[in-house]
Structure 1
Amino acid sequence: MTSKPDDWQSMHDGRLSAMIEVAQAAGRHTLKYFGTRELVVDAKKDDSPVTVADREAEQLVRKLVGERFPEDTLQGEEFAEKTGTSAYRWVVDPIDGTKSFVCGVPLYSTLLALECDGEVIGGAIFIPALDEIIVAGVGQGSWHRKTASSEWTRASVSSKTELSTAVFVTSEVGSFAKRGNADAYARLERDAWVTRSWGDGYGYLLVATGRADLMVDPICNAWDVAAIMPVIQEAGGTFTDWKGNSTVRGGDGVGTNGHLHPAVLERLSD
C-alpha cells in the first residue's frame, strides 16, 4: 500500500524522510551561487565543470547525513566515498547539470538516492531554481510537488505507445557521438515526435510526471541515475541501462513510460 511522503518518517529509521529534507537543503544551498557572474568554474580530470556550489552542496549532504546516520556509507560525485558499517548507502549528485547551472539555466537538479543492501530503495530529484521536487520510495509510489507550498500529488508516466507521438529528451547530443553511438541519437530523433535537450535530472522528472516520454543518458555514473530509478519505476515507468538491465551502474541509462521501452532499446542497439 502506497503512502505520501509526509508519512515516511518511520521508514528505514527515518532515512526516507531525511532523504527529502537533505536533498532540499543541499539544493537550496546552491541558489546562493546560481546566476552570479563571478562564479569560478574549474575543470575536473574528465574536463567536466565543477564549482564551489557543487562542492559545498555535497559537503552539506555529508554533514547532515553524517550527523543523523554516522554508520551509513555515502557516495558522491565530488569527494571520495565515505565507507560505513550499516546496510545503507547514500548516493548524491549535488548539481546534476552543472553546465546548465553555470549558464544560469534553472533546470539543474540535486539528486539524492538511498540504497539498502545494494538495492535502491528511494530517490529524490529536486529542482532548486524552480522549487519543484519529485520523490519515491520503493513500494510507496512516486510523488511530485510543484512548489514547497503545494500539496504532494501522485506522479505517473504517460500512456503513449507510439514513438511517433513521443517526446524524447536528453542532456547533450554530443554524448552519443562520444560513446560511438551518434546513429542511435539520429534514429530516436527521427522517430520521435519532439526532441529536446537540457535534460539531466529534469528530463527524468518530466518522464515521471508524463510531460515527456523517454529520457536517454549515453554516459553516466551511479550518482547521475541512482535517484532516477525509483522515481521512474514508482511512477509506472521503466529504467534500465542500454542493454535492458535494471541497474544504476551500467554506465548509461534509459527512462521511459514503459510502453516505449522496447522500441527505444531497439534504436539504441548497435
Structure 2
Amino acid sequence: MNDLTLAQQLADIADQVSLARFRANDLVIDSKPDLTPVSDADKKIEQLIREHLLKLSPEDGVIGEEFENKVSTNNREWILDPIDGTKNYIRGVPIWATLIALRQNNEITCTVVSAPAINRRWYASKGEGAYVLENILGKEEKRKLKVSAVSKISDASFAFAEVIKKDHWEDYYDKFLKLTNDVWRSRGFGDFWGHMLVAEGAVDIAIEPKLALWDMAALYLIIKEAGGSFTNLKGVDGVGGPGAISSNTLLHNELLTRFK
C-alpha cells in the first residue's frame, strides 16, 4: 500500500466518526489547558487513526493535537489534526476538516485534507500534483488544483480567520487592516478553508499569524503542489510557524514586505 492510499484510509476513518457526531445532541465538549474546545469526536478520530497506523505501520511516529507524541523509529511520522475548526464543529457550522500529513526525513511527502460536511477532499503527493475530490449531485469528480494568476494586490482576494487585535494579530494588526483595504476583496474563510481556496485558485492570499504544526502540515504540500507558496510571516518556507502565508506565489514577495 502506498502512503497516499494509507492517508486516504485514515481520512475515511475520520469522516465516519466526524459526520456521525456532527450536530449530535450528546456531543461532549471539554476545554484544553489553553481554553480551546475539544469534542469527543476530536479524541475518537485521533484514537482510531493511531490504532490503524499501529496495525499497518507500527514503526511510524505520530504527532497529534489531542494525545502525546509517538516517537518514530524509521524517520516517518504522521501529523494529525482530527478536527481543524472545532469551534465551527461544535456550533454546527459545516466548515471543518481532518488534516493528515506524512513527514519523512523532515520532508512532507503526502497530505490529505478531508471536509466531508461540504463534500470535499483535497490531497497531494510530492511531485505528483494536488487534487480535490468533490461530490456533486451524488457523482464524485476529481479536479487538479492550480493557483490563480493574479499579480496585483489591488486585484487580489484575501482570506483570513480572525479580526481580534489582542489575541490574534498582535503587532501585525495595522498591517493586516491595511491589506484588507488594499485588496480587491477580503473574506473570513478561516482555518484550513482559506488555504485550500488558495490552492484551488479561488482566493489569492491566506494569512494566519498563529498556527500549530498540525494546523499547517497538511496544507503546505497541497499549496506547493498547486503552484503556490507557503511560508511563515518572515518568509521561511515550510511549517515551522508560528504562522503562515499561503499565496499564488506571484503576490508572495509583496506580502512578505508588507508584514516584515
Same fold (TM over 0.5): yes
Write out aligned runs for 1:91-240 (5 A): 91-147=79-135, 149-174=139-164, 177-178=167-168, 179-240=170-231
Kept after mapping to 2: 8 A contact 1:75/1:91:
yes
Residue in 2 aligned with 1:79?
67
Report Cα offsets for 1:195-214 as digits up to 9, x if no partner. Answer: 11142111111110111111
> Over residues 57-112 of structure 1, what are the superposed CA-to-partner deviations in whole Å (9 max), with x where a residue is unaligned?
11111111111100000000011101121121100000111111111111111100
CA 1:124–1:176 in 2, change beyond 3 Å: closer, same or farther? farther
**SS state at 2:117 partner:** coil
Q: Who is 1:89 aligned against?
A: 77
Query: Could you say what the CA RMSD is over the residues aligned between the two structures, in angstroms?
Result: 1.6
Question: Which residue identity is paired with 1:125?
Answer: V
Kept in 1, the 8 Å contact 2:99–2:214? The answer is: yes
Structure 1: give runs of 5+ residues left out of the alignment: 1-8
Separation (CA, whole Å) in 2 of partners of 1:208 and 1:40: 34
The alignment status of 1:54 with 2:45, answered yes or no, reads no
**Residues 37 and 164 from structure 1, CA distance in 2 versus in 1: closer, same or farther, beyond 3 angstroms?**
farther
Q: Does the CA contact (< 8 Å) of 2:21 and 2:27 recur in 1?
A: yes
Per the normalisation by structure 2, the TM-score is: 0.94
Return 134-143 or 18-27, whichever deviates more: 18-27
Q: Is the 8 A contact 1:96 1:110 kept in 2?
A: yes
Q: Distance in 2 between matches of 1:195 and 1:24?
A: 33
Give the TM-score normalised by structure 1. Answer: 0.91
For residue 70 of structure 1, the aligned residue among 58, 62, 68 is 58
SS of the aligned residue for 2:171 comes to: coil
Contact 2:210–2:241 (Cα < 8 Å) also in 1: no
Instruction: Work out the percentage of aligned pairs sharing the same amino acid.
Output: 35
**Shift in Å at residue 151 of structure 1?**
3.1
Could you tell me which residue of structure 2 aligns to residue 16 of structure 1? 4
Pick which of 23-32 and 153-162 moved more: 23-32
CA 1:189 to 1:223, structure 2 compared with 1: closer, same or farther past 3 Å?
Answer: same
**Distance (Å, rounded) in 2 between the aligned partners of 1:254 and 1:23:** 25
1:194/1:46 Cα in 2 relative to 1: closer, same or farther (>3 Å)? Answer: same
CA contact (8 A) 1:175 1:218 kept: no
How far did 1:177 drift?
A: 5.0
* SS of equivalent residue, structure 1 residue 242: coil
* Alignment size in residue pairs: 257
What is the Cα deviation at residue 182 of structure 1? 1.2
Q: In structure 1, how many angstroms separate the alpha carbons of the residues matched to 2:97 and 2:13?
A: 12
Q: 2:38 & 2:18 partners in 1: Cα distance?
A: 12
Classify the secondary structure of the residue corresponding to 2:68. coil
What is residue 4 of structure 1 aligned with on the other side? none
Partners of 2:37 and 2:87 within 8 A in 1: yes
2:116 counterpart letter in structure 1? P
Query: Which letter does structure 2 place at the counterpart of 1:115?
Result: R
